[in-house]
Structures are given as structure tokens and as C-alpha cells.
Structure 1
Amino acid sequence: MIITFNELRRIKDRLPSGSSQRIADELGIDVDTVRNYFGGKHESKECVGVHFEPGPDGGVVTLDDTTILDVAMRILSEQ
């Protein structure tokens, strides 16, 4: 999936407080991996399959796996 960096950040910014930890717990991954998925720069031992390329609208992000994004969107739909 390809998305702009700014759109990915808008999704992250709309998530309620504690969502990164909730996603990490649900998927059994480190919370820093979730934060890095949304453009953070945290030390993590796990690879998230996210590739950032500079450009307009914050650049382009290619997501190899949308599982984290899918959980985030589900959380947003619960609000």
C-alpha cells in the first residue's frame, strides 16, 4: 500500500491516547515498532516494513504490511 507521510501522520494523530500501546499489545509487538510505523524514530529490534521517500505532502510511504494500520483504523471506527 502507498500513502503519503502526512496522511499516515493524520491517522496517527486522530488515535486516542494509549493507542500505540494497545496496538502493540494486541499484535504482540514492541510499542516502539508501532511508533516507527507511523514515522517515529524509536529504537526497535523489529522491522516494520515501512519505506519512506521524500517528496510532496511529506513524501510517500510504502507499507509492506498494513496490519498495524488496519488495527489503527479499527480503533478509529470505534470512536
Structure 2
Amino acid sequence: MPKTITFNELRKIKDSLPDGSTHRIADELGLSVETVRNYFGGQNFQDGKSCGVHIEPGPDGGLVVLDDTTILDRAMQILAESQEAAAPEA
């Protein structure tokens, strides 16, 4: 089912990922790194593929409709893992 978020939200998620996450997602999902970058707003379609991201102009960078949330879901899992690792132990 498609998901709609703002472009700025999508970029914030990408910018919050730990170093190497784009490569990790690409490796885990069998995609090129450029395809993952294109998912987060990149424009390299020579080396990467389009991946069901549709951007509509508007406030907050515009709206992004994601046909497939697999890359976003994996990114959110990596963010959760990094936050758990950074949390102080009780």
C-alpha cells in the first residue's frame, strides 16, 4: 500500500541514518546503492533505478508517494537499532 510523507521528512530520515546505511540497505535488499539513494531523492538514473517514488511539489519540500515502503521500513529499523545502541543502560 502506498505511503505519503513530505520530501523533507524523507530526507531527514536519510540524513539521520548512520554512515554506511545506504550500502547496507542496498546489500540486504539486493539493490544498487544508487537505487537506494534515488529512493531518498537522488537523481542518478544512469547507475540506479527508479523505485516507485513520486514527488508532488508543495510545502515542506512537497509530498512524496512511495509505492513500496521496503527501503523506508529497513531504514527505520536501522534508525531504531542505532538509537537502542546509543541509549544508556539503566
TM-score for the superposition, normalised by structure 1: 0.95
| Equivalent in 54, 72, 75 of residue 75 of structure 2 | 72
SS of alignment partner, residue 43 of structure 2: coil
SS of alignment partner, residue 33 of structure 1: helix
Quick one: distance in 1 between partners of 2:25 and 2:13? 14
TM-score for the superposition, normalised by structure 2: 0.84
5+ residue gaps, structure 1: none
Quick one: distance in 1 between partners of 2:61 and 2:69? 19
CA contact (8 A) 2:38 2:50 kept: no
Quick one: distance in 1 between partners of 2:49 and 2:4? 21
Question: In the TM superposition, what are the counterparts of 1:1-79 in structure 2 within 5 Å?
Answer: 1-43=3-45, 44-79=47-82
Higher radius of gyration, 1 or 2: 2
5+ residue gaps, structure 2: 83-90
SS of alignment partner, residue 34 of structure 2: helix
SS of alignment partner, residue 46 of structure 1: coil
